[in-house]
Amino acid sequence: MIRDLKPYPAYKDSGVPWLGKVPEHWEVRRLRNVAEMRVSGVDKHTKDDEQPVRLCNYVDVYKNDRIRDRMTFMHATASVDEIERFRLQIGDVLITKDSEAWNDIGVPALVEESANDLICGYHLALLRPFRDRLYGDYLLRALQSTAVSYQFHIEANGVTRYGLSHAAIKSIWLPLPPLPEQSAIVRFLDHMDQRIRRSIHAKQKLIKLLEEQKQAIIHQAVTRGLDPDVPMKDSGMEWLGEVSEKWKLKRFKFLAKVTGSQVDPREAHHRMKILIAPNHIKSGTGEITHLQTAESQGAASGKYEVCNGQIMYSKIRPNLRKAAIAPMDCLCSADMYPITVRETEVKTAFFLQLLLSAPFTKYTVDCSLRVAMPKINRDALGECWMWYPSLEEQDDILRYIEQAMNPAKIAITNNQCEISLLREYRTRLIADVVTGKVDVRHIPLSDESNTETIFGEDIESLDNETCALDEVECAVEIEE
């Protein structure tokens, strides 16, 4: 239970096992009794005999908990009847009803702004509350609570793709306080949510700055070395500029080789191997975020075999700087190059830093823009000039990079942990308030008039503001 918040004076059995007891004056109702449900079949296709519309689709709901007219939507067409039936109204709630993952089912978003041409798209269900029983903003919070979302998860059917039946959506149970209390709950949760998101955003901005600091350390070390007074020479490449005078310059193809042939990941001796794709690698860091087998990913098309210690470099969208050293014998996506480095001249770990560096990325991006899909081909890769010092100096540089970046790495890890705690806190707070475990009806909210409305975490307009978890909790002023 959230610290310092008190329970309601009296409770009763809800009659629903997973919900337990609810405040004595609350109701518990199925969704069909408090809202109308409409499931759209309007897709992205354009037909000459239909009206132009903007479609609010799965991704719009999944990535935003508020739907506003100023967002960018897909353009399509719909019939007059479809427009009339699925046009969004303020107070509607949209939920995802189909997904490749069972835990992405039932994700809600509240419609805060509407327009005549903005309608609900496919893979979504439109919920329109009966305004004399239920407010849309309270429904949003109820659907965000683990007690309600759990029902969607257990009702989701499927193997490779999951979905909710109309009956399953209509049958979910909702804790239902009186309308004035719904408003009080929403007011409290919105206020706290804004503070939590503001804190998360501040930490995300700090992490971004720390990542930039790490990149600056690497850039300095792999272009100039460790001696700030070392004489420099012109590399002869505009994209590279000057490098240390003692360093060598050789083309990629004389230092490393793209290896491997494609194999079928469905074969018995391949399907249980780890399969690494660009989305498993953190951009610009060389860090692999998670490991999954080819079978668990449903891999069907050809993949490259990779040996332990080889570099895997993503040829698609090189500006993302996706490269890493294989931690074991494994497979990699066909969108990646397995690279073997000639270690008599360049250490694999040092070569990886060159691949992640700003000058190399500039070269690959320039090459990739010459083709329809942004990617770097083998020939262009082989012709790239690489720069490097002696093996002894490479070892010194690698040790320096590791030591110099360690404080930033620790700070990043700490901030990521704090962000996780804040998100867990938010989830717990919503669950406790929406199910009536705590009473927030008369909680005064500090600085409410100065709190901007902030929803979504990709916010760029906030000040560099910090707020720790205990500060968020202290934002609730409890009257004695």
Whether 226-260+308-326+334-388 and 28-176 are alike in CATH topology: the answer is yes
Domain ranges of the chain: 1-26+181-206+412-480, 28-176, 226-260+308-326+334-388
In the prediction, which pLDDT does 25 show?
97
Tell me the pLDDT tens digit for each residue of 7-21.
999 999 999 988 889
One CATH from 3.30.870.10, 3.40.140.10, 3.90.220.20, 1.10.10.60 for 226-260+308-326+334-388: 3.90.220.20
Mean pLDDT by 10 residues, the chain (480 residues): 79 91 96 95 87 94 94 94 95 91 87 94 94 97 92 80 88 96 96 94 96 90 90 92 93 95 92 95 92 92 96 93 96 96 97 95 88 84 96 96 94 96 95 95 70 46 42 39
Residues 6+ apart with CB under 8 A from 60: 67, 71, 73, 109, 121
In the prediction, which pLDDT does 161 show?
75
In the prediction, which pLDDT does 459 show?
41
How does strand 66-67 pair with strand 108-111? parallel
In the prediction, which pLDDT does 2 show?
56
Contact present, 304 and 261 (Cβ < 8 Å): yes
Residue holding tokens 């074969």? 267
In the prediction, which pLDDT does 422 show?
96
| Confidence (pTM) | 0.80
In the prediction, which pLDDT does 447 show?
61
Residue holding tokens 């508020």? 66
In the prediction, which pLDDT does 160 show?
66
Tell me the pLDDT tens digit for each residue of 362-395.
999 998 876 667 889 999 999 999 999 999 999 9
Distance CA 281, CA 326 (A): 11
Fold of 28-176: Adenine-n6-DNA-methyltransferase TaqI; Chain A, domain 2 (3.90.220)
Residue holding tokens 């210690």? 309
